[in-house]
């Protein structure tokens, strides 16, 4: 049975800023005892009304477990002075607090809230400070009201703080009117959490806003899996299972959503499909712009293509193969070209050859890749500046509309007559749409990638769709060059791609398989390899940076969560010399390797080298924790050796340790040494292209550890989930309709 008690927190033994979890000494008029539970913004000396029950802790004895906490504004002179000087209202110390209470007495809080100008009657308080004090008190009272409201629906203090930061004083009104809005606005709240809240708020099962939110949720699940659309019948069935309402009701709401243009229903190859409107518009736009670029008049070059190729060979001191010559020539004469091929097939040589010819022919060329690491590698291999596609397009946060926008658009296009994009298998439909909008008519577009790797994380199947359309000029490189053929990583990548068993543990080789029978033994060996053996054998300068563990999954003993925890223990163990911060189940420590796990376009970064600033840290960016300031509540991560980003502690849900990462997250990256556990995972993850993608991330060595049977299972599993994407169909249809 729950009790209500009122009293003062006299001492805080422990308090977590993130979760609000608190252990404190609580004193009522009659007794003193320990209280434990979630209490955001709690501080000693303030009065609270607590709801909960007494429990018996095995080690610490009797405690009061708090299920709900509400601050009670003090009524006594001493209580008011204590509250005002507690730190809630910055800039008010004990002397000023005493002067305020002495001047306004019982009306103190009312004066601060409703007549803040009167605070200037107190020596040392000007108009600006008076306004700030009033605003802080109102905000504090409002947040207290919000936590009370949310607490009755089981929403804990940590989430209440998150909601308040987004919605401010309107939190209660927004949640009450449409709890499903949370799924759009709040990172970490999905449909199921919002639906549980809606149920507690009394929203009916067949309410149209609930059904519409359910449809959006299921459509978003398709998009998360890479699909740009969902088959209509399948979408309605899945939504029906989720919501427990009739198919007829779902179809009615779906049609209404189509009329409101939030979704698009259309027939595609004889079946009705449903698009989120933004993906439909992107797919349509990409289709039209690609065909326009293919048909456009590209800038003429000074000589015939073969002469230009021979001149480039002379300048670079090399001889292109017959295949390379053909590919370069075709890229020079076509508006849009796709080059695809596995490792060692000469893609970099071709890029350099094309770049050499274009620049010497006076064609201004821009180089880009989807990720920072891929762009950096492109810069290193070409000797020319390359940027991420986002940076090339000058992505920025528009404060007027609170949305992200590309600075480069159709109205203000890129100042380039040719654009070369590497790692193009990672291009999703939205990024491709943004890129094409910024490319002027008559520009050459050359997309280079490996169509056999995992597709983009975002929705769409751009590279494969362009090849499948048969209208976009595409070349597949097949020849492995002699120097590359000496690497077992390259040879085995191609063997795996063909469904063949790799050559392992060859004398002087760079590809190893180390058999272990259990997951526990596999984990133990991976830790040993990371801590001692690989760094010593390969003379690695920076073990943390140079060794990357890649795994198919986040879960289990050999998933990223546990691997990161275990590898951190051996590569960056706890030390009195290293500051650390506990956040949920994670511990962040100075010198840890970390990864950004969501796009944050507002995070400001600063370069130490030239003090330049910019905005935006993207999903998959890898950095190192430079410092942790527990006193001021932030940690600093350095990306790309000199791009420093400060994270307040309440934003640490955007970071995770990166000693181990999923193969999907590693796309576009290259690491000196890659270690991969071979253990049972679901058939969807135990695929040939996932193993192929992981292996091709290694530069100097690849080490597979675990079950040989599992490795062979992955090689044999070439069942790739086909994505729902209409790009290839649209290109074919548009071209066909013109002829």
Binding site per annotation, positions for ATP: 344-348
Encoding tokens for residue 621? 């960016």
Q: Which of 697, 701, 623, 703 is nearest to 666 (CA)?
A: 697
**Residue 533 CB neighbours (<10 A):** 12
Q: How many whole angstroms separate alpha carbon 490 and alpha carbon 400? A: 50
Please give the torsion angle defined by the CA atoms of residues 38, 43, 46 and 47, in that order, rounded to the nearest 10 degrees: 10
Encoding tokens for residue 732? 């074919």
Binding residues: 344-348
Q: How many whole angstroms separate alpha carbon 239 and alpha carbon 227? A: 16
Beta strands in 223-361 (DSSP E): 230-231, 263-268, 271-276, 336-341
Q: Which of 661, 660, 638, 651 is nearest to 600 (CA)?
A: 651
Q: Which of 439, 90, 460 is nearest to 284 (CA)?
A: 460
DSSP H or E run through 196:
helix 191-200
Contact yes or no for 670/373 (Cβ under 8 A): yes
Encoding tokens for residue 713? 């299972």
Encoding tokens for residue 216? 């959006």
Q: What is the DSSP string of 13-44?
A: EEE-TTT-EEEEEEE-SS-EEEEEEE-TT--T
Q: How many whole angstroms separate alpha carbon 222 and alpha carbon 228? A: 7
Q: How many whole angstroms separate alpha carbon 570 and alpha carbon 600? A: 31
Encoding tokens for residue 233? 């019948």
Q: What is the DSSP string of 228-256?
A: S-EEHHHHHHHHHHHHT--HHHHHHHHHH
Q: DSSP 3-state assignment of 679?
A: coil
- DSSP 8-state assignment for residue 170: G
The Cα diameter of the chain in Å comes to 97
Q: How many whole angstroms separate alpha carbon 46 and alpha carbon 7? A: 8
Q: How many whole angstroms separate alpha carbon 627 and alpha carbon 643? A: 14
- DSSP 8-state assignment for residue 63: E
Cα-Cα end-to-end distance for the chain: 78
Q: How many whole angstroms separate alpha carbon 60 and alpha carbon 54? A: 13
Q: Which of 227, 163, 549 is nearest to 235 (CA)?
A: 227
Q: How far is CA 669 from CA 145, 385, 448, 550, 698, in A?
A: 47, 17, 15, 12, 9
Q: How far is CA 424 from CA 175, 330, 420, 565, 578, in A?
A: 41, 18, 10, 33, 40
Q: How many whole angstroms separate alpha carbon 128 and alpha carbon 136? A: 12
């Amino acid at each position: 049975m729950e009790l209500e008690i009122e009293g003062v927190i006299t001492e805080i033994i422990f308090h977590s800023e993130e979760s609000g979890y608190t252990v404190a000494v609580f004193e009522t008029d009659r007794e003193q005892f320990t209280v434990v539970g979630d209490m955001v913004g709690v501080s000693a000396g303030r009065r609270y009304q607590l709801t909960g029950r007494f429990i018996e802790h095995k080690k610490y004895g009797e405690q009061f477990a708090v299920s709900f906490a509400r601050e009670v504004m003090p009524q006594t002179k001493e209580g008011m002075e204590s509250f005002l000087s507690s730190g809630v209202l910055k800039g008010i110390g004990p002397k000023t607090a005493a002067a305020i209470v002495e001047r306004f007495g019982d009306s103190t809080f009312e004066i601060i809230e409703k007549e803040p100008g009167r605070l200037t009657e107190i020596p040392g308080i000007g108009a600006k400070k008076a306004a700030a004090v009033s605003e802080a008190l109102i905000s504090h009272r409002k947040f207290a009201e919000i936590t009370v409201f949310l607490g009755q629906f089981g929403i804990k203090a940590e989430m209440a703080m998150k909601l308040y930061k987004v919605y401010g004083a309107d939190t209660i009104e927004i949640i009450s009117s449409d709890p499903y809005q949370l799924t759009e606005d709040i990172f970490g709240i999905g449909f199921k959490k919002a639906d549980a809240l809606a149920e507690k708020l009394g929203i009916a099962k067949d309410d149209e806003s609930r059904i519409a939110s359910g449809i959006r949720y299921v459509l978003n699940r398709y998009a998360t899996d890479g699909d740009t659309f969902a088959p209509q019948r399948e979408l309605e069935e899945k939504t029906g299972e989720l919501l427990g309402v009739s198919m007829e009701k779902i179809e009615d709401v779906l049609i209404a959503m189509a009329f409101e243009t939030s979704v698009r229903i259309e027939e595609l190859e004889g079946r009705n499909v449903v698009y989120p409107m933004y993906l439909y518009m992107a797919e349509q736009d990409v289709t039209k712009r690609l065909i326009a670029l293919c048909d456009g008049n590209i800038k003429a070059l000074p000589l015939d293509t073969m002469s230009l190729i021979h001149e480039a060979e002379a300048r670079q001191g090399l001889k292109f193969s017959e295949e390379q010559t053909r590919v370069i020539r075709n890229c020079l004469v076509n508006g849009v070209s796709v080059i695809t091929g596995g490792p060692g097939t000469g893609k970099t040589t071709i890029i350099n050859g094309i770049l050499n010819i274009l620049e010497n022919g006076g064609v201004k060329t821009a180089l880009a890749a989807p990720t920072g690491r891929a762009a950096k590698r492109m810069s290193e291999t070409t000797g020319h500046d390359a940027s991420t596609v986002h940076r090339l397009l000058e992505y920025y946060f528009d404060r007027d509309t609170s949305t992200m926008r590309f600075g480069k658009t159709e109205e203000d296009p890129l100042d380039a007559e040719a654009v070369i994009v590497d790692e193009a298998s990672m291009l999703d439909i939205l990024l491709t749409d943004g890129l094409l909008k910024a490319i002027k008519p008559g520009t050459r577009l050359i997309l280079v990638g490996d169509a056999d790797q995992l597709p983009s994380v975002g929705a769409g199947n751009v590279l494969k769709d362009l090849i499948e359309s048969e209208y976009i000029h595409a070349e597949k490189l097949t020849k492995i060059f002699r120097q590359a053929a000496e690497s077992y990583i390259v040879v085995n990548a191609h063997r795996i791609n063909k469904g063949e068993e790799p050559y392992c543990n060859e004398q002087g080789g760079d590809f190893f398989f180390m058999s272990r029978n259990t997951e526990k033994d596999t984990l133990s060996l991976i830790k040993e390899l990371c801590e001692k053996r690989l760094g010593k054998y390969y003379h690695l300068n920076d073990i943390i940076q140079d060794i990357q563990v890649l795994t198919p999954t986040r879960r289990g003993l050999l998933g990223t969560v546990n691997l990161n925890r275990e590898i951190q223990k051996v590569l960056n163990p706890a030390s009195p010399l290293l500051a650390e911060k506990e956040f949920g189940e994670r511990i962040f420590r100075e010198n840890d390797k970390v990864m950004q796990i969501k796009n944050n376009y507002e995070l400001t970064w600063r370069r130490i080298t030239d003090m330049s600033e910019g905005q935006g840290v993207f999903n998959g960016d890898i950095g190192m924790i430079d410092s942790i300031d527990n006193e001021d509540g932030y940690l600093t991560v350095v990306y790309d050796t000199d791009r420093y980003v400060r994270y307040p502690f309440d934003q640490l849900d955007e970071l995770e340790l990166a000693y181990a990462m999923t193969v999907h997250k590693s796309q576009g990256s290259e690491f000196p040494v890659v270690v991969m556990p071979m253990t049972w995972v679901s058939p969807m993850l135990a695929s040939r292209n996932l193993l192929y993608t992981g292996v091709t991330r290694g530069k100097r060595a690849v080490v597979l550890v675990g079950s040989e049977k599992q490795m062979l299972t992955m090689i044999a599993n070439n069942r790739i989930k086909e994505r729902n994407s209409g790009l290839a169909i649209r290109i074919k249809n548009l071209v066909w309709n013109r002829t």
